[in-house]
């Protein structure tokens, strides 16, 4: 990838993390009620899945490259997954400390599932 593309990807990554922080720590109690479930899945879990799904892709386009050897691709993918899980865990811990939010291990599970699916997809991208 060119320098402009990589710079743009890194800028988007920074903006994404800022948006993620706003979504995770904002006080949205005044918003209109939304349906509690979609196809039997809690809407909150769907939102958590969607919030963390872009992370591995944004990191890949910011710092990764295609054509890695298999072992390098595995290590890089596991590192990105681990960093994403730490980020997800920290957001849940901080939410637990806020008076207007609550920590939920099932939110962390949705975040982790999202990171796992997206990391697997970026792993395949690294090998191509």
pLDDT in tens, the chain (128 residues): 678 888 999 999 999 999 999 999 988 878 777 788 889 889 989 999 999 999 999 999 998 777 778 888 899 999 999 999 999 999 999 999 998 888 999 999 999 999 999 999 999 988 88
What is the per-residue pLDDT for 58? Answer: 95
Closest Cα partner for 116 from 86, 90, 78, 60? 78
* pTM of this structure: 0.89
Q: Spell out the residues 6+ positions from residue 62 whose beta carbon is closer than 8 angstroms to its own.
A: 6, 9, 10, 12, 13
What is the per-residue pLDDT for 50? Answer: 97
Q: Spell out the residues 6+ positions from residue 125 whose beta carbon is closer than 8 angstroms to its own.
A: 60, 64, 66
What is the per-residue pLDDT for 1? Answer: 67
């Amino acid at each position: 990838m060119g320098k402009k593309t990589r710079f743009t990807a890194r800028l988007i990554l920074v903006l994404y993390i800022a948006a993620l922080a706003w979504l995770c720590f904002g006080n949205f109690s005044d918003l209109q009620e939304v349906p509690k479930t979609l196809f039997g899945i809690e809407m909150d879990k769907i939102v958590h899945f969607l919030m963390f799904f872009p992370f591995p892709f944004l990191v890949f386009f910011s710092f990764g490259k295609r054509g890695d050897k298999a072992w390098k691709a595995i290590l890089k993918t596991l590192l990105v997954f681990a960093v994403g899980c730490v980020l997800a865990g920290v957001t849940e811990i901080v939410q637990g400390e806020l008076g207007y939010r609550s920590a939920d291990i099932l939110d962390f599970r949705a975040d982790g599932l999202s990171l796992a699916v997206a990391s697997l997809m970026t792993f395949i991208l690294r090998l191509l």
